[in-house]
Amino acid sequence: MATLQVNWRQSWRLITGVIISLMVIGVMIEGVLHAASLPDDFPPPSIGTNYQRFEVQLARLDHFAETHNGVDCIFIGSSLVEKGIDPVYFGEVYQAETGSTSAPNCFNFGLGSISTSTLGVVVDLLIKMYEPDLFVIGTQARAYNEPQMLNRTYYVYAAEHTLPDNAWLRYQRGDANVTGWLIEHSELYQTILTTRLLLQRDGRGYAFESLAQELDSTTTGHVKLSGSLLDVSQPINYDDPHTEDERLMDFLQTYIVADNDLKGLQGVVELHNQPTQILIVEMPVHHTYTGYFLEGEDRYDWFVDAVTQTVAGSDVMFWRTVPDFANSLPDSAWYDRYHMNSQGAVTFTAWLAERVATSVANGNLNPLVDS
């Protein structure tokens, strides 16, 4: 019995010694990582999601806010926002229109195919982290069709859908969990997560590129489109559609406005003036875009009516661009039937900045910078 007791005590001391040693080594590595600079070819620190586009944009925004002493306005939405709004040019036009002493520091947080259900969680997070004066939500019909997105096998849709359940995002929203705390406070844990991504590198594009490469391509989040993917002057050929037309027809012909997406939009509306102003803008689409819907304009208007009703009774403004502004753009300003190219983006950005400046002058929006 005594022998067993001695062995148990020795084993316990050994286990305790190993644990303490590992803790000391972990603290030492943590200190080194805090003091050291990671190589330029190392990806952004991971927060443990499968949605790499979000992680890259978050790293970009963090870098932007650090180098610009904060951020005054953020644009967010799908790839229509990412490609269609130039935040630097917006600031220049806003400054010229308002006579401000400086241009606002603006960032484009475009997130590809993000649905409105997830958008609400991201907007809430970014307001808490950066407190911009203005959040511009660029919206379109496709962002309210979450069930159709989830029916697709494209990995981004599934990754984006699970984003609200991420431990770090839940921690930021007040859910005290160990994993979220480690991601927030431990350089070592972030490095482990990022290294895991490197080992999983599989050629799926920008998701696995380094932060240095990402910042070289854009420091403001805006990605320009050149030229045209298809000839938008030609109507959709339903018998022999262009690949892009076929893809959108498949996605939008059975279009619905999902309750979960409307709930996400309602959450965004409720964030107005806490402390950030919220502005919702319909992203322009070419007049042939409604041809993707089985019931044409009537089905497209379902999305418009849903947004209008959601913001009703609040101070949040919803600015329409279809058909008046959208139809004013020449065919040469379109990359496809729903993305503007760089020519269209310049025109739309100026229109948006001028309207924001007018709203500031009329007292409907607070100034983005000191006059």
SS3 state of residue 77: strand
pLDDT in the model for residue 157 = 66
CA dihedral 126, 71, 81, 301 (to 10 degrees): 70
- Tell me if 361 sits within 8 A of 98, measured CB to CB: yes
DSSP character at residue 229: S
pLDDT in the model for residue 240 = 94
- Tell me if 211 sits within 8 A of 59, measured CB to CB: yes
pLDDT in the model for residue 204 = 43
Q: Roughly what angle, to the nearest 10 degrees, separates helices 297-311 and 259-269?
A: 40
Q: Which residues of 40-79 are buried (b: 16+ CB within 10 A; e: fewer)?
A: eeebbbbbbbbbbbbbbbbbbbbbbbeeeeebbbbbbbbb
Strands (E) located in the chain: 73-77, 106-110, 134-139, 277-282, 317-319
Q: What is the value of pTM for the model shown?
A: 0.86
- Could you give the CA distance from residue 181 to residue 167 in angstroms, rounded to a whole number? 8
Chunked into runs of 10 residues, the chain (371 residues) has average pLDDT values of 54 54 47 51 74 85 93 96 97 96 96 87 94 96 81 65 90 91 84 72 45 64 93 95 91 88 94 92 97 90 96 96 97 97 98 98 92 53
Amino acid letter for position 114: I
pLDDT in the model for residue 152 = 65
- Could you give the CA distance from residue 130 to residue 61 in angstroms, rounded to a whole number? 9
pLDDT in the model for residue 89 = 98
- Could you give the CA distance from residue 24 to residue 27 in angstroms, rounded to a whole number? 5
The CATH number assigned to the domain with range 52-361 reads 3.40.50.1110
Structure tokens at 223: 């990605």
pLDDT in the model for residue 202 = 45
- Could you give the CA distance from residue 256 to residue 298 in angstroms, rounded to a whole number? 12
